[in-house]
Amino acid sequence: MQQFIDAAPGIRLWTEQRGAADAAPLLLVMGARASGVAWPEPLVDALAAHHRVIRYDHRDTGRSSWPFEERPYRIPDLADDVIAVLDGLGIDRAHIVGMSLGGMLAQLVLADHPDRLLSATLIGTSALSSTPYTRPDGTTVPVEELPGISPEVLELWARPVEDHGPTADMQRRIEHWRVLAGDQLPFDIDSFRALERRVIEHTGHDRTSTAHGRAEHDGMLRTDRLAKNEVPTLVICAPAEPVFPPPHPQHLAQCVRGARVVEIPGMAHALPPAVLEPLATAILRHTGAAAG
């Protein structure tokens, strides 16, 4: 079922629900510049067998409003959209699964609105905390010295997005996924091509907004509140991650009180078919335990 939610004046967000209406809600929050339909269908279906799954388009993606050029917003405003989606659908509390920027938004909700969450799962993201990372040997590493984004990803993100026609655009999109998918699993080009075709068809055009990369992100640290967290939290560790490589997941679990880490073999900063079953299993075990 599809529905539009009025999140703020002039801001409408596209949402989709799947699964039994009386099942525990589970909200999927995608990463920067990514439409909600970037969540792979097999993963959504696997989660919807146990949950009322909701996914939505961020501002400036998919079928939601594209307001940034006329009315710039801040990244924390996107976290407010998470609450607006829950309110608009009449959901008091939900499980949340956030990937990349979505994982940061999930942390903001963990910190600022813990009463709205049943559990949280954080994927491919970094801690909104200034707490140093403590290695297994007891030594510490300042946050600013943790591994950064790979040079290959940075170079790709620095390229201007230019209109050279649909064929060149699809090649650019596939190359982006090839880099984000890492080197531990074979690259499934067909699945990512199908994903991008689905995103373009859903959106109605092939333009990509850079709004999320330009939005102000000051004031996002939640060090003290995350350290006092009481919401059951799972951190997914992707060993081939090129954006927030290990030990970012371990650091995140240290910053969010009570969080635990589960590694998905071969996973990077993408969701190819090979990782979907173990990822769904990890999420459902976590939400099931939180419900119990």
Residue 110: partners with Cβ closer than 8 Å, 6 or more residues away: 117, 120, 222, 225, 226, 229, 231, 233, 256
Angstrom distances, CA of residue 128 to CA of 37, 47, 143, 174: 26, 27, 10, 30
Q: What is the pTM of this model?
A: 0.96
pLDDT the model gives residue 169: 87
Beta bridge partners of 97: 28, 121
> Between 93 and 155, whose confidence is greater?
93
Q: Which pLDDT score is estimated for 164?
A: 65
Mean pLDDT of 60-75: 97
Residues 6+ apart with CB under 8 A from 137: none
Tens of pLDDT, residue by residue over 22-40, are 999 999 999 999 999 999 9
41, 126, 156, 211 from 69: Cα distances, Å: 31, 27, 23, 8
Distances, alpha carbon 176 to alpha carbons 169, 269, 276, in Å: 11, 11, 19
For residues 218 and 215, give the distance between their C-alpha atoms in angstroms, rounded to a whole number. 9
pLDDT above 90 (res 157): no
Higher pLDDT, 132 or 172: 132
Which pLDDT value is given to residue 166? 85
DSSP labels, 227-267 = HT--S-EEEEE-TT-SSS-TTHHHHHHHHSTT-EEEE-TT-
Q: Which of these ranges, 32-41, 89-98, 168-177, 235-244, has the smallest mean pLDDT?
A: 168-177
Query: What is the residue-averaged pLDDT of the chain?
Result: 96
* SS3 state of residue 190: helix
pLDDT per residue over 94-139, tens digit each? Answer: 999 999 999 999 999 999 999 999 999 999 999 999 999 999 999 9
- Domains by residue range for the chain, with CATH: 2-291 (3.40.50.1820)
